[in-house]
Chain A
């Protein structure tokens, strides 16, 4: 089965801790994306990567970091610098500028 997997589905973290969200795809897509979805805010782009070993900041990159060492993987780290990290995080992938395929999401709650 081809697709995008995100783990874990639910994640809890204490204030001041960094946490890494996993995103893996076996669709052979070059581009991968991280979004944050908040009620009434739609999807806001955090980071995106169009090719391995390269990534760009989206609209709300502050307090987040990413890496793209492999085509299949695009992990997102939510750092303690992110002021309001509780949210639903969505990963997506696509071939160049075409349709985006989304993962099931990770709901992060900061306690």
Chain B
């Protein structure tokens, strides 16, 4: 069955540390890829997305993600995190031509120490 895996369930970092959150999916066809973020007490919102073109995509607040097709991965990165990045992050994949089904990962809770 198709799935989306986020390897880290809970990550704790100090401010200014670099961040990489892993996301892998299992589907051999075409995909649309997303990272969503849920700040404490706020709605889920889009961080960045990849549909086609340059596999390195940049999102809001200094985040970026790289689509590596051969590794079925879409890892999220930020070179220097801030306390305000404390949130839960979800990777999501739309399986194109498969009822256009969207699958979310289980999320990664990121806690930034001030």
Contacts and interface: CB of A to CB of B under 8 A. Distances in A.
A48 B101 CA distance: 10
B68 interface: no
B44 A90 contact: yes
A102 to B, nearest CB: 4
B94 A102 contact: no
A104 B106 contact: no
Contacts, number: 47
Interface in A20-63: 33, 35, 40-45, 48, 50, 56
A97 B51 CA distance: 10
Contacts of A90: 44
B44 A97 contact: no
Interface residues of B, number: 23
A84 interface: no
Given A40-B9, A43-B90, A102 B44 contact: yes
Given A42-B106, A43-B104, A97 B43 contact: no
Given A42-B107, A43-B90, A97 B100 contact: yes
Nearest to A104: B43
Contacts of B96: 97
A-side interface mostly: strand
A90 B90 CA distance: 14
Contacts of A99: 34, 46, 49
Interface of B: 6, 9, 32, 34, 36, 43-46, 49, 90, 92, 94, 96, 99-107
